[in-house]
Structure 1
Amino acid sequence: MGEASSVATGAGTLATVVRSGVVESVHLGHLATIDGPQIGRPGTTFFPRSALKPVQAAAMLRAGLDLDGELLALAAASHAGLPMHRAGAARILAAAGLDTGALRNTPDLPLDPGAAAAWRAAGSAPEPVAQNCSGKHAAMLATCVAAGWDTGTYLDPAHPLQRAIRRHVEALTGDEVRHVAVDGCGAPLFSCTVAGLARAFAAIATADPASPEGRVAAAVRAYPEWLGGPARPVTRILRAVPGLVAKDGAEGVFAASLPDGRALALTVLDGAARPVPAVVAATLRALGVRSPELDAAGHVPVLGHGAEVGAVEPAVPAGPVVPAEPAVSSPADTGAA
């Protein structure tokens, strides 16, 4: 069936959806860990979507970006579009002598439903600053100013900024970038393997605190509400596990690492976000984490007439399972790098 179907090849069961004691549906995918269980083919090449943002942020620091604290967390964020997030993106731009008109990410409403309702009630239309990637784009523009690069073409894969990010993706993942796509926000998106994404997060979580990677790790750990938002699963998981570095991505992608380098990365085959908290929590438990807050963050109920009648049950084994198949490649609808 060609490369378009290869992401499905060798996928394993990540979670089952149980309603009133009956398995109603199944989520398949790939799970890679460092020092933990594996599901499917961890060597599968895929698009890590926004889970790649901490790697991109570290690359920008190496290229001259000067951010720390909540604004560095925002540079690695898929934020909820709350007023603090929008103001933070504007602060990053203002420090570089720019305003929100320089942003080239896709116009959108805030991701948080309440923030989106307030935005509309104020008569505002979709704008780049409200879109969940505006922190990353503001940081990309600030990096260009710091490095003396053109700001008008920063989304071109051939731009010096994007070439620097690509090199850093390869350095931290240990993978060759085999595919380049356009992400939902308009920025270039570089492929890696599921296992490579886990390696990248382990590298960030264990980095020297003074290094760019260590600075990103510190920002994510200290400001989880800037990485997502108070109601977002990634923020809840970060709060539940002190020292964790984590990031979610579209199409059911998630990556995380503990401070000692025990790490995970996963992709859900059907792109659903629903099983992700349950699978992440179960994987962290398999890696040795015990926390009532983590158990709560990983509980995904199934409702019937407004009452809980079941749950999303993770299928993560207690110990490591070595995949039997070699690596495969998944993206097919983009040009090769």
Structure 2
Amino acid sequence: MTQTEMQVARVVFTRGGVDESFHAVHLAVVDAGGALIASCGNPNLITFPRSSSKPVQALPLALAAPELPNDELAVACASHAGTPEHLLAVLRLLERSGSTVDDLRCGTHPPFDAAVAAELIRAGEAPTPLHHNCSGKHAGMLLSCVLNGWPREGYTEHSHPLQIRIRELHAELGGVDLEQVQAGTDGCSVPAFALPLDAAARIFAGLAQPSGEYAEAVERIFVAMTAHPFLVAGPGRLDTTLMPLVPGLVAKMGAEAFYGVGLRHSPRGPLGIAFKIMDGGERARAHVALAVLEALGIPLTPELRALAPATLHNWAGREVGGVRVDLGLAFTH
């Protein structure tokens, strides 16, 4: 076992006092200047933020549309649940670019919100691309193309000017060379960019304390997401429930158990946090998020603790086990 492997954080699920299973976690925390101040595991791990990249993917839109309403900017950053509120905001974005649902290239899946999905079934209706959790991002991309004079056709392709610009912004905001930003394809067909974990944390530190030439637009993204947490995710989902409970916190989940957090107020000043749960175990995400917030000096209220219960109950309501986080956060200064 290497030293890095020994330092990896773990979320451990227990039963009857026995450790039954665990999730390994790499984590990086940076300050407002982008310096690494704490980590678990490998802070240079190359990984895909997936949908945690959506604030960066929305930045060309924020720059090109300074008067865009906050709710529409928020849904452009969203992995939404497909509720009527989400769909209306996406439709407003599409209308601004003269686009329709047929122009979305995200594909189709059932709404994340179980009640909405059930209602579609009862009505005998099939989901459309509008229900896709990334439809707001795609509608924002179509509007960004129109406002920047780029073609809407092929907007999901790696060679499209919008996607080239988004890759550049990942490098700029992450404080790395462009060559360090690797490219794959996301579940919604746009490019997914992989970069070092501490670079992703710098992106979220920049959301917490915007600076530089993009500061005004980045601040608008922070305001939009924190003012409309419901539009960023939806009922019962971590982004939506966490942001209102910690003033000055912006958060965005990504697929395969990535998470990014910008913390505007902490005993150590503005911070950016990024972590990757290596087996993609979504159930561990809230436990890690709360553990790192507590380690950074954020008091955990009962409402916060309720997001990641420390005890496990079976279907009969009996307590059968627990969850603990072996964080071992190592501070560099």
TM-score (norm 2): 0.89
SS in 2 for 1:302: strand
Separation in 2 of the partners of 1:123 and 1:136?
A: 27
Question: Could you tell me which amino acid in structure 2 is paired with residue 182 of structure 1?
Answer: T
Counterpart mapping for 1:292-311 below 5 A: 292=301, 293-299=303-309, 301-307=311-317, 308-311=319-322
Q: CA deviation at 1:271?
A: 0.5
Which residue, out of 15, 19, 24, partners 2:20?
A: 24
Q: Is it true that 1:128 corresponds to 2:129 in the alignment?
A: yes
Distance 1:167 1:178, change over 3 A: closer
Counterpart mapping for 1:46-85 below 5 A: 46-64=47-65, 67-85=68-86
Deviation by residue 1:257-309 (Cα, 9 ceiling, x = unmatched): 11142221100110010111011001011111113122222326423343232
Separation in 2 of the partners of 1:149 and 1:11?
A: 46
Q: Is it true that 1:217 corresponds to 2:217 in the alignment?
A: no
Counterpart mapping for 1:5-16 below 5 A: 12-16=8-12
Greater alpha carbon shift after TM alignment, 129-138 vs 300-309: 300-309
Which residue, out of 263, 266, 269, partners 2:272?
A: 263
SS in 2 for 1:184: coil
Deviation by residue 1:208-262 (Cα, 9 ceiling, x = unmatched): 6961110000011111000001210121111211110110011010010111422
Q: What's the C-alpha RMSD, in Å, of the aligned pairs?
A: 2.0
Residue pair 1:15, 1:312 contacting (<8 A) in 2 also? yes
Which residue, out of 182, 205, 208, partners 1:205?
A: 208
Q: CA deviation at 1:115?
A: 1.2
Separation in 2 of the partners of 1:316 and 1:145?
A: 46
Deviation by residue 1:106-138 (Cα, 9 ceiling, x = unmatched): 211101111111122222223211010000000
Deviation by residue 1:35-81 (Cα, 9 ceiling, x = unmatched): 66421101110111101111111233234575231111111000111
Q: What is the aligned length?
A: 314
Q: Is it true that 1:179 corresponds to 2:218 in the alignment?
A: no
Counterpart mapping for 1:159-174 below 5 A: 159-174=160-175
Q: Is it true that 1:232 corresponds to 2:237 in the alignment?
A: yes
Residue pair 1:58, 1:212 contacting (<8 A) in 2 also? yes
SS in 1 for 2:189: coil
Greater alpha carbon shift after TM alignment, 150-159 vs 255-264: 255-264
Deviation by residue 1:123-165 (Cα, 9 ceiling, x = unmatched): 2223211010000000000111111211121001111111111
Unaligned residue ranges in structure 1 (runs of 5+): 1-7, 323-337
Separation in 1 of the partners of 2:322 and 2:221?
A: 34
Unaligned residue ranges in structure 2 (runs of 5+): 32-36
SS in 1 for 2:75: helix
